[in-house]
Structure 1
């Protein structure tokens, strides 16, 4: 038995919402960064008319967009994790970090696949595995649709909408009395 008898739902929600979402956001970040790094290396070493593919403005534009997505995902994930570490209510931030983190990584993954061309799908190539692994971050702890529904419910509740399905207390607030130890003060 984990926790108190009859409190299994709270234990499951705590694991899924409070720790599953930031963990999946972190996995998405790592895969996102790997896709960007592999693509940058690939286009920088791919010859084209005495230069490299990376010398083309259209390729630099795509790399810049991929990098901007990574930065957005990092900001979302770090902000949500910081709030969680400080015991603050952060359900919406966790939903956004998990849901958008995956979506941003998947967009960069698609760009990476296109920029690698046929080489992207060659079995044993690092990008092929990164792309496959990206797909595993979508469903756990709620799909993108679930994350957006939760974000809408929080917004509606905030504005007084009488939706009986809208949770009145955030899961993170329910567990705020158990803030994680501050690494700066932990021996």
Structure 2
């Protein structure tokens, strides 16, 4: 009888250990899952993966006697009642030179609307070398009813791109922006339909 009680107690302890181990594993997996978007974003920003551009406080690069064409592309997601387009569709920029470009956005609805821009460059290999100093994409933008704003982006191309075989011979790079609603409450019945605009 005592042996049976001892065996039962041992089995109960083993079961508790298994349950606790499973709970700990679930907690770890849950933490990793929750952190995944942040970790992925940090990875993309650090490496330029997927055409993610870099952010710089200032430009200390040497200006090279070589020019690249920078094209600008703009898109508006469904549900955002904005018109969004670049002031110019392309510009020639010296590698290492600080450049300034403007995009224009108009809220076509009768209500204030918030938008958030996401961005990338193509070819993707330029992501490590395309540096933004200032950009409207760094934060949400709120446009009042029928308001039009000019939104700047200050950038430079890192001269190290000429040492990279995947970018050294490329004659141009495209900087693309897509604006999305920053608030999901902007229902289709509340806003005018958006017409995507593309530059390029």
Counting strand residues as a fraction of each chain, which structure ranks higher? 2
- Shared topology, TM-score over 0.5? no
TM-score, length-scaled by structure 1? 0.26
Counting helix residues as a fraction of each chain, which structure ranks higher? 1
Decide which structure has the larger Cα Rg and report it: 2
